[in-house]
């Protein structure tokens, strides 16, 4: 199931607006913050129409930034996009939660990050090692040796939270702070839901562990997007994503308009194939349950 959405104040009560694409809407904005997983691709292939839509935005002179909760550095994200057929020339910049964590671990300008020790236990797959590579951290293999945990997610795609219960409980007993490099609880990969670091972080909090999340919906990554876009007015930026928890709630909290892509994370709950528009009543019920209301929804990221 998709993650539970925190309630937001005063959601819109009007019937949901459903678009077939961006063609009639893009002209009202200068910049676009675009989610990756569930919008541009599903981890295995680019969604139909996504490349064409990026091309149209570029042709209109729109500024774009791809904002991802991927727990890896931007060069790794860009290489993945290349493999999926999303050419580097089609988009402006990439901001990833993994890059922001790496930046904080190196700079140590944030007081909380400055207080962390140097002995780090990495909870995550080797594919996410780029988050800590190039830092001066001493990577340890035992919790008993660690000053803190760097959580980039499960070690394999078939994992469940229960499999990490013993490790998380031991870490909580030792009062180890956790850096969570991906606040997402689940993500769509090849049409199936896969557990993410946020689910482990949430369970760690339930065990009284302290977690510092980096990524959507937290404001730090959005402000980084403002910087790279060169746009300070939130109302000149449109954010597009498939998560009500992160993409919609995070952008709306900073005053941006949002479009919710229904064919990603919530497709099964809405009872639709990725390319099929949802029933308005069902979509309205989802918004009401979530306590958030995007400006509009559309089945896929398309022109």
Average pLDDT, the chain: 93
Q: 172: which 2 tokens?
A: 């909580």
% of the chain residues with pLDDT over 90 = 88
Residue 248 sits in a domain of what CATH number? 3.40.50.1000
Alpha-carbon torsion 98, 39, 83, 59, what sign?
Answer: negative
Instruction: Provide the 3-class DSSP secondary structure of residue 194.
Output: strand
| Per-residue confidence band for 13, with pLDDT thresholds at 50, 70 and 90 | low
Residue 292 lies in a domain: yes
Based on the domain organization, do 220 and 93 belong to the same domain?
yes
Q: 178: which 2 tokens?
A: 């956790």
pLDDT score for 190: 79
Based on the domain organization, do 93 and 124 belong to the same domain?
no
Residues 114-132 pLDDT 10s: 999 999 999 999 999 999 9
Based on the domain organization, do 51 and 139 belong to the same domain?
no
Domain boundary among 187, 213, 239: 213
Question: Is the model's pLDDT at 195 over the cut of 50?
Answer: yes
Question: Is the model's pLDDT at 255 over the cut of 60?
Answer: yes
pLDDT score for 295: 97
Residues 73-97 pLDDT 10s: 999 999 999 999 999 999 999 999 9
Report the alpha-carbon distance of residue 262 to residue 241 in Å, rounded: 9
> Measured between alpha carbons, how far apart are the two ends of the chain, in Å?
29
Residue 8 lies in a domain: no
Based on the domain organization, do 123 and 171 belong to the same domain?
yes
Report the alpha-carbon distance of residue 257 to residue 53 in Å, rounded: 18
C-alpha dihedral (81, 38, 97, 67), degrees to nearest 10: 70
Residues 21-79 pLDDT 10s: 999 999 999 999 999 999 999 989 999 999 999 999 999 999 999 999 999 999 999 99
Q: 260: which 2 tokens?
A: 């919710």
Query: Among 83-92, 231-240, 248-257, 270-279, where is mean pLDDT lowest?
Result: 270-279
Residue 132's domain spans which residues?
Answer: 115-213
Residue 15 lies in a domain: no
Residue 220 lies in a domain: yes
């Amino acid at each position: 199931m998709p993650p539970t959405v925190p309630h937001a104040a005063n959601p819109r009560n009007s019937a949901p607006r459903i678009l077939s694409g961006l063609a009639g809407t893009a002209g009202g904005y200068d910049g676009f913050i675009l989610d990756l997983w569930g919008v541009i691709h599903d981890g295995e292939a680019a969604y139909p129409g996504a490349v064409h839509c990026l091309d149209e935005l570029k042709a209109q002179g729109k500024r774009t930034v791809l904002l991802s909760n991927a727990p890896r550095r931007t060069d790794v994200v860009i290489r993945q996009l290349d493999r999926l057929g999303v050419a580097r020339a089609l988009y402006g910049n990439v901001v990833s939660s993994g890059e922001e964590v790496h930046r904080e671990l190196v700079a140590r300008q944030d007081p909380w990050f400055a207080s962390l020790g140097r002995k780090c236990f990495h909870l995550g797959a080797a594919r996410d090692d780029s988050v800590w590579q190039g830092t001066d951290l001493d990577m340890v293999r035992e919790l008993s040796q660690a000053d803190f945990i760097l959580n980039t997610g499960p070690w394999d795609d078939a994992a469940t939270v229960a499999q990490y219960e013993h490790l998380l409980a031991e870490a909580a007993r030792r009062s180890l702070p956790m850096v969570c490099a991906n606040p997402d609880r689940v993500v769509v990969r090849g049409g199936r839901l896969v557990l993410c670091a946020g689910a482990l972080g949430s369970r760690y909090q339930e065990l009284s562990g302290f977690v510092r999340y980096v990524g959507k919906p937290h404001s730090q990554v959005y402000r980084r997007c403002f910087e790279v876009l060169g746009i300070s007015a939130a109302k000149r930026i449109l954010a597009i994503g498939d998560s009500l928890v992160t993409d919609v709630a995070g952008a709306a909290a900073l005053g941006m308009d949002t479009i919710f892509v229904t064919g990603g994370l919530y497709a099964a709950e809405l009872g639709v194939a990725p390319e099929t528009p949802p029933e308005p009543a069902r979509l309205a019920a989802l918004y009401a349950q979530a306590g958030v209301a995007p400006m509009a929804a559309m089945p896929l990221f398309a022109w």
